Structure 1
Amino acid sequence: MLTYPNAPACGGLMQRHLRWLVTSGVPMSAIIDPEPIRLCHGFKADDGRFEPDPSGPDWFVLIEREDYVFWRPGTSELATWNAKSFALGESLIDNVSTYALDGHLQIFPHALDWLRRNRDGIVIVNWNFAFDRLRDCPRIEIAESLLPTYRKHMQPARMPALRLLREHGKAAA
């Protein structure tokens, strides 16, 4: 299992968690691969980061390339450990096989939907990075419920100030 500096100790899933995932339609391959889903207790802080607390509710831990993403199934909340993850499954964004044979990057609204589809796609954790991370994707398939959010965030955060340059010999209009 990948570990990150000062990351909380995460345990394995209990039988009741496994049973809930399987009865919710999640294949066992999505539970264990590429990294097994882990379990932690705590709360989501105001900055979107996870705060470990042994008396807190259950959170499932999904390991991404540069971060831990914490998912609270009861509320669908997502939190990160070090705020580096843009999405669950983000390695698929730059993977050419995602788009092979007219394939599309699928964007799911909830982690459970993503797990049911065997982690084949992404769940956006931080929409503030959507434009920069997704603008070069050739094809995207998105859940209809996410379309307004997608359209809102799929534009640059800021554009440069624009001023017209007077061309020599031309009058300003």
Structure 2
Amino acid sequence: MTLKTLESNLQRVKTGDAKASVHRMEIDRIRYVLSSYLRSRLLKIEKFFPHVLEKERSRAEGQPPLLSPEEFAFAKEYYASTETYLKAVALKRMPSNLQTVDMLKAVPEPCLDSFVFLRVKERQENIFVEPETDDQREYVVDLEEGSQHLMRYRTIAPLVSSGAVQLI
């Protein structure tokens, strides 16, 4: 059910009905959560734009895109704007041997060792978990369908790509 469908259903409810105000609050809550999610994605794209574009361009044929067409266009435009700004403000005033910038080296890479919450959609066996410290030994875990975990992103990145787990 889409947000537009919910709003059109709300239009059919009588004006003084108590259900209408509850439904309106729920629609506003959904709109806020979606906006917050999209804002968060755009901030990540802005922060790591060259790496995001490189990963999107180097994905294998037939692999689903990581970005929506609008996000991909935003990332390309942000890259071009940043490059134009750097050239106009700083690079043209530098010596000729320093007038180019490799954006992949200039912008920090995303930290793949940060911890993320995940929900298992398909049972996974023998997932190798790296230790946090040298005192801990390495171990293997089985992820049961429907279970939730807190793990390093690097460990479960292939499972996210395949759709076996979902970030929450």
More helix by share: 2
Normalising by structure 1, we get a TM-score of: 0.25
More strand by share: 1
